C-alpha cells in the first residue's frame, strides 16, 4: 500500500527561464479568449477595459505579496502552507482544497467545437486530458519545458493579434475600413451602469486565474530566491500586454452588440474566439484554422498548468496531514502519481458539458472559479499581514528576505479592501440583474459556500476530533525557519556573494569578448 514517502521528494528542476515564462504567458488560458468577449457584450468595451485594469492591478498586488513569502519559503503548497503556518490550519486547509477544485478544462470544449464542430466536446476533452496526463508523469522538467514553449506560442500569437487588430482598427488594411473609435462613442463604451460593470468582474477573475501558479511552481525551481522575484516582475508585463491591450483591441474592433460576442451564460451555443473573428475581418480568412490551432495550444497549456497546480497542491495537503496520506507519495522521478491520478479522475467532469450543455456547466464553473479565486487572493492579503506581524514580533530583519514588497502594509491592506468591495459588487450585480433570478445569486456565491464549508468543517474537526482550542497560531510560535532558503542573518552575506559572482561573470564575459575581437583582428592583420 502506498503511503507518504520521506525518501522521494519533488525535484527542483525548473530553471529561471521556465518560471519567468510561466509568469508571463504560462497561465494565459481559455479565459482571455472567451471571457473577454462576454464582458464586452455585457457592459460595453469601456466597462470591460476598466474591469480588467482594476482586477489586473489588484492581482499584481497579490502576486507581489505572495512573491515575498514564496521567495523565502519555496514550497509547492504556497499560500496553503502559508495560511497554515502564519494564520491557522483551518485557513491553509480551506485555501488548499479550494484551489484544488479550480479547473478550467470545460472551456476547452467551447473553443475547440468551433475548430472541429463534428467532434463531440467529450471526445475533445479526452484528446486533451490523456496526453497531458502522460506528459506530467515523466518529470517536472518536462512540464517546465513544455509549458515554456506553450507559453511562447501564446505570447507570440497575442503580440501578432494586437498588431493586426490595431492596424485593422486604424483602417490600415486595404479593402477593410476600420471602425476606429466608433465602438467607444455614442454612449457605447459603458452599458448597463455599475450593475453590468460589476458582473464583468467575474470574467476578469476567471481570466486572471492562475497567476498564483508561480508560487506553487517555486517549490520545484532551482534558485527560487532569484527566479521568484523575476517572475513577479514579469507578471506586470503579462497584465498590461496580454490582458489590458487585448481587451482594448477587441473592444475597438468588435461592437458590443455584435452577435459573435455570444454570452455562454444565456446561450449554450458556442461562438468563435474574438481573436479569430478579428483576424477574419482583417482579411486573414485562410489563417483561421492556424489561429484556432494556436488556441488549441492555449487549451493544452491551461490543462497542463491545471494538472500541475492541482496535483502539487494535493501533495502539499497530504504532506501536512490535511489530505489522505496516499496522495503524499512521490516516485523516484519526483512525480506525485496518486495526486495526479485523482486530478485526472476529476478532470473527466468535463464530460458533463455533453450532458447538460457547455453553456450551463461553463457558467457555473466560471462563477465557481472566479469567486474562489477572489477569496484566495483576498486571503493572501491577510496572510501577508500576518506573516510580517510574526516576522516583526520575533525580531527578524527584513534584509534576510530575498524579496521584500514595497509600500507595506498598503499593498496587502489594499488587497483585503479591494477583495471585499469586489465581492460586494458581485452580489449587487446578481441582485440587480433583470429579470431577477435566484439562480444568478446562487451561481455568484457558490464559491463562497465551498469556502465556508471547508473552513467551518476543519475548524469543527480541530475542536471536536483533535481537541484543539487555540484557533490562530500565536505570533511568537510561527515557524519562520522551516523551508527557508536563507537562515537568520544570511541575507547580507548571500547578497554579497551574488554580487561578487556577478562581477566575476561580467569580467569573464568581457575577457571572452576581447579575446574574440583580438582573434578577428589577427586574422585580418596577419
Q: How far apart are CA 337 and CA 349, in angstroms?
A: 20
Read off the C-alpha cell for 407: 509600500
Q: How far apart are CA 17 and CA 476, in angstroms?
A: 37
Cα 396 from chain centre? 31
Q: State the DSSP code for 477.
A: G
Q: Which of 261, 288, 136, 244 is nearest to 191 (CA)?
A: 261
**Treating both helix axes as pointing N-terminal to C-terminal, what angle do 140-169 and 121-136 enclose, rounded to 10 degrees?**
130
Q: Is 188 exposed, middle or buried (0-12, 13-18, 19+ CB in 10 A)?
A: middle
Read off the C-alpha cell for 127: 484528446
Read off the C-alpha cell for 99: 484551489
Distance spanning both ends of the chain, measured CA to CA: 74
Neighbouring residues of 297: CB distance < 8 A, sequence distance ≥ 6: 150, 153, 154
Q: What is the pLDDT of residues 353-379, one digit of tens each?
A: 555 555 555 566 666 777 788 889 999
pLDDT at 110: 43
Q: What is the pLDDT of residues 249-294, one digit of tens each?
A: 999 998 888 877 754 334 433 346 788 788 888 887 766 677 767 7
Q: State the DSSP code for 282.
A: T
| 124: Cα within 13 Å, side-chain hemisphere | 26
Are 140 and 217 in contact, with CB atoms under 8 Å apart? no
Q: Which of 21, 15, 55 is nearest to 224 (CA)?
A: 15
What is the SS3 string spanning 246-270? HHHHHHHHCCCCCCCCCCCCCCCCC
Are 312 and 76 in contact, with CB atoms under 8 Å apart? yes
Per-residue pLDDT of the chain (526 residues; tens, 9 = 90+): 333 444 566 666 566 676 777 766 655 766 676 667 888 888 899 999 999 999 888 988 999 999 999 989 988 888 899 999 999 999 999 999 988 876 544 444 444 444 455 566 566 667 777 787 888 888 777 777 888 888 888 888 888 889 999 999 988 887 778 888 888 988 888 988 888 888 888 788 777 877 777 777 777 777 788 888 888 877 777 777 778 899 999 999 988 888 777 543 344 333 467 887 888 888 877 666 777 677 777 777 777 777 888 888 888 899 888 999 999 888 888 888 898 888 777 776 655 555 555 555 556 666 677 778 888 999 999 999 999 999 999 999 898 899 999 988 999 999 999 999 888 887 787 777 767 777 777 777 778 888 999 999 999 999 998 888 888 999 999 999 988 888 887 777 777 776 676 666 666 766 666 666 666 555 555 5
**Treating both helix axes as pointing N-terminal to C-terminal, what angle do 274-281 and 30-72 enclose, rounded to 10 degrees?**
130
Q: State the DSSP code for 176.
A: B
Sign (positive/negative) of CA torsion 233, 239, 245, 246? positive
Q: What pairs with residue 221 in β-bridges?
A: 14
Read off the C-alpha cell for 150: 506553450
Q: How far apart are CA 456 and CA 91, in angstroms?
A: 10
Q: Is 97 exposed, middle or buried (0-12, 13-18, 19+ CB in 10 A)?
A: buried
Q: How far apart are CA 162 and CA 178, in angstroms?
A: 14
**Treating both helix axes as pointing N-terminal to C-terminal, what angle do 121-136 and 337-347 enclose, rounded to 10 degrees?**
170
pLDDT at 341: 87
Neighbouring residues of 88: CB distance < 8 A, sequence distance ≥ 6: 471, 472, 473
Cα 459 from chain centre? 28
Are 116 and 104 in contact, with CB atoms under 8 Å apart? no
Are 256 and 84 in contact, with CB atoms under 8 Å apart? no
Q: Which of 284, 309, 281, 255 is nearest to 132 (CA)?
A: 309
Q: How far apart are CA 313 and CA 331, in angstroms?
A: 16
Amino acid at each position: 500500500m502506498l503511503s507518504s514517502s520521506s525518501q522521494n521528494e519533488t525535484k527542483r528542476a525548473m530553471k529561471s527561464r521556465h518560471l519567468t515564462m510561466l509568469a508571463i504567458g504560462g497561465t494565459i488560458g481559455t479565459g482571455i479568449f472567451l471571457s473577454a468577449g462576454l464582458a464586452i457584450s455585457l457592459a460595453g468595451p469601456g466597462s470591460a477595459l476598466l474591469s480588467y485594469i482594476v482586477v489586473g492591478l489588484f492581482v499584481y498586488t497579490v502576486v507581489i505579496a505572495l512573491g515575498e513569502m514564496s521567495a523565502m519559503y519555496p514550497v509547492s503548497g504556497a499560500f496553503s502552507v502559508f495560511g497554515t503556518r502564519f494564520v491557522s490550519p483551518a485557513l491553509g486547509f480551506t485555501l488548499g482544497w479550494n484551489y484544488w477544485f479550480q479547473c478550467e478544462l470545460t472551456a476547452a470544449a467551447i473553443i475547440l467545437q468551433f475548430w472541429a464542430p463534428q467532434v463531440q466536446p467529450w471526445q475533445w476533452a479526452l484528446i486533451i486530458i490523456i496526453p497531458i496526463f502522460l506528459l506530467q508523469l515523466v518529470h517536472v522538467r518536462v512540464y517546465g519545458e513544455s509549458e515554456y514553449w506553450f507559453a511562447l506560442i501564446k505570447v507570440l500569437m497575442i503580440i501578432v493579434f494586437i498588431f493586426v487588430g490595431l492596424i485593422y482598427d486604424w483602417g490600415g488594411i486595404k479593402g477593410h475600413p476600420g471602425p476606429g473609435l466608433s465602438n467607444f462613442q455614442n454612449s457605447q463604451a459603458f452599458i448597463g451602469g455599475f450593475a453590468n460593470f460589476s458582473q464583468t468582474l467575474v470574467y476578469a477573475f476567471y481570466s486572471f486565474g492562475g497567476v498564483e501558479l508561480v508560487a506553487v511552481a517555486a517549490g520545484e525551481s532551482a534558485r527560487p530566491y532569484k527566479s521568484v522575484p523575476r517572475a513577479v516582475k514579469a507578471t506586470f508585463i503579462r497584465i498590461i500586454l496580454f490582458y489590458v491591450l487585448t481587451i482594448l483591441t477587441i473592444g475597438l474592433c468588435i461592437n458590443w452588440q455584435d452577435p459573435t460576442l455570444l454570452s455562454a451564460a444565456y446561450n449554450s451555443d458556442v461562438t468563435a474566439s474574438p481573436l479569430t473573428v478579428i483576424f477574419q475581418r482583417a482579411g486573414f480568412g485562410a489563417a483561421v484554422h492556424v489561429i484556432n490551432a494556436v488556441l488549441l495550444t492555449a487549451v493544452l497549456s491551461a490543462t497542463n498548468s491545471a494538472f500541475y497546480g492541482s496535483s502539487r497542491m494535493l501533495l502539499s495537503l497530504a504532506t501536512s496531514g490535511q489530505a489522505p496520506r496516499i496522495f503524499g507519495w512521490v516516485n523516484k522521478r519526483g512525480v506525485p502519481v496518486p495526486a495526479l491520478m485523482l486530478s485526472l479522475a476529476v478532470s473527466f467532469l468535463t464530460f458533463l458539458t455533453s450532458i447538460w450543455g457547455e453553456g450551463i456547466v461553463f457558467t457555473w464553473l466560471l462563477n465557481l472559479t472566479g469567486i474562489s479565486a477572489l477569496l484566495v487572493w483576498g486571503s493572501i492579503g491577510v496572510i501577508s499581514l500576518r506573516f510580517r506581524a510574526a516576522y516583526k514580533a520575533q525580531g527578524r530583519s527584513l534584509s534576510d528576505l530575498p524579496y521584500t514588497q514595497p509600500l507595506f502594509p498598503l499593498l496587502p491592506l489594499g488587497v483585503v479592501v479591494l477583495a471585499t468591495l469586489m465581492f460586494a459588487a458581485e452580489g449587487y450585480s446578481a441582485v440587480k440583474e433583470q429579470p431577477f433570478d435566484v439562480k444568478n445569486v446562487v451561481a455568484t456565491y457558490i464559491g463562497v459556500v465551498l469556502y465556508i464549508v471547508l473552513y467551518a468543517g476543519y475548524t469543527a474537526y480541530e475542536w471536536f476530533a483533535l481537541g484543539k482550542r487555540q484557533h490562530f497560531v500565536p505570533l511568537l510560535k510561527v515557524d519562520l525557519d522551516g523551508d527557508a532558503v536563507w537562515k537568520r542573518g544570511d541575507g547580507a552575506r548571500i547578497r554579497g556573494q551574488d554580487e561578487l559572482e556577478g562581477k566575476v561573470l561580467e569580467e569573464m564575459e568581457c575577457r571572452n569578448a576581447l579575446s574574440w575581437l583580438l582573434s578577428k583582428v589577427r586574422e585580418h592583420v596577419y
